Amino acid sequence: MIGQLWTIIILEPLINLSVLLYSLLFNNFALAIVGLTILVRLITYPLTWKQLQSMRAMQELSPKLQALQKKYEKDREKLTEETMKLYREHGVNPAGGCLPSLVQLPVWIGLYQSIYQVLGETPEQLMALSQHIYHSVPFLHEIARRTIPLNSRFLWLNLARPDPYYILPILVVAVFWLQQKMSTVPSADPQQASMSQTMNIMMPFMFGFFTLRVSSGLAIYWVVSGVLGIIQQYFVIGSGGLRAQPVAEGKEDGGKKKRRGKR
């Protein structure tokens, strides 16, 4: 039952949309993936806008959060209480940025499966693909008849297989790192700052590792989606965590004392 719902709601719409975009975009499946990425971004834009507004609010609250972290450095329970109070006063939901990623997760899985189905080459794969085409829609049926099997080649890539030269994994790591870095909210708490730094490294490399094993078509989706996300993020919240952070007050005072001592 769940498998049938997944096929009807996620997989078949992605397969038919991919075939349609392939036909409209010069029989180029890489361009079809770019077009699909833009459509997904447009559909999820209201959620993304809320995510970016939440991130901007978090960055604007950063000085107050750092002040609380310094004030209640030794009282974690009081720090948590005052932090949540500050969030409520300013109407900020710290978990509000997770929803767009959760919405896109089924799209990632469905796209991975649809690429495998659409770019099938064996008679068995082509037969399975024909069963997912909307034959009740005459123009889609005609497009599928004219275009299947689809051309899976783009530059050096076979879009149904991983990138043999590891260029896409490197791009995925770079794009995800940049997006994570822009999203980082400065923290005066060493433990929280260390956790953020670890996540900024782990997440990009995790997706880079996935890119070594999944189809390069899905990797193109990740790269294009990431670049579009960076552009949206820049125009709403600016460069965010990429800005040079001010030197912590304690460190600055310590540095002055050392210089005075040398004198």
**pLDDT at 245 exceeding the cut of 70:** no
Query: Residue 176 is encoded by which pair of tokens?
Result: 């995800």
Q: What's the pLDDT at 255?
A: 46
Query: Residue 103 is encoded by which pair of tokens?
Result: 């919405």
Type of residue at 50: K
Percent of the chain with pLDDT over 70: 81
User: What pLDDT digit, counting tens, does each position of 6-27 carry?
Assistant: 888 888 899 999 999 999 999 9
User: What pLDDT digit, counting tens, does each position of 187-236 carry?
Assistant: 555 666 677 677 778 888 998 999 998 889 989 999 998 999 888 888 87
Residues 137-143, mean pLDDT to the nearest whole number:
86
Point out the least confidently predicted range of 89-103, 154-168, 174-188, 228-242.
Answer: 89-103
**pLDDT at 250 exceeding the cut of 50:** no
CA-based nearest residue to 125, from 104, 107, 152 = 152
Mean predicted lDDT score pLDDT of the chain = 79
CA-based nearest residue to 179, from 230, 244, 235 = 230
User: What pLDDT digit, counting tens, does each position of 31-58 carry?
Assistant: 999 999 899 888 888 877 777 777 777 7
Query: Distance from first CA to last CA of the chain, Å, rounded?
Result: 78
Residues 101-128, mean pLDDT to the nearest whole number:
79
Which residues, listed in sequence order, are joined to residue 214 by a DSSP beta bridge? Answer: none
Type of residue at 91: G
Residues 133-162, mean pLDDT to the nearest whole number:
87
Residues 66-79, mean pLDDT to the nearest whole number:
76
Under 8 Å between Cβ of 93 and 51: no
Dist. CA 156–CA 135, nearest whole Å: 33
Integer angstrom CA distances of residue 134 from 8, 39, 45, 236: 11, 20, 27, 39
Confidence of residue 185 (pLDDT cuts 50, 70, 90): low
Whether this prediction's pTM lies above 0.85 is answered by no
Confidence of residue 257 (pLDDT cuts 50, 70, 90): very low
Q: Is the model more confident about 206 or about 1?
A: 206
Query: Residue 218 is encoded by which pair of tokens?
Result: 């899905």
Residue listed under structure tokens 């039952």: 1
Helices 138-147 and 12-24: angle between axes, nearest 10 degrees: 70
Residues 143-170, mean pLDDT to the nearest whole number:
90
**pLDDT at 74 exceeding the cut of 70:** yes
Q: What's the pLDDT at 168?
A: 95
CA-based nearest residue to 219, from 228, 207, 233 = 207
Q: Is the model more confident about 163 or about 189?
A: 163
Rounded (to 5) percent helix, strand, coil in the chain: 75, 0, 25
Under 8 Å between Cβ of 154 and 30: yes
Residue listed under structure tokens 């189905």: 117
**pLDDT at 117 exceeding the cut of 90:** no
CA-based nearest residue to 230, from 186, 184, 176 = 176
CA-based nearest residue to 55, from 192, 136, 224, 47 = 47
HEC string for 40-59: HHHHCHHHHHHHHHHHHHHH
**pLDDT at 263 exceeding the cut of 80:** no
User: What pLDDT digit, counting tens, does each position of 55-69 carry?
Assistant: 777 777 777 877 877
Run of H or E residues at 136:
none
**pLDDT at 186 exceeding the cut of 90:** no
Dist. CA 57–CA 190, nearest whole Å: 22
Q: What's the pLDDT at 121?
A: 67
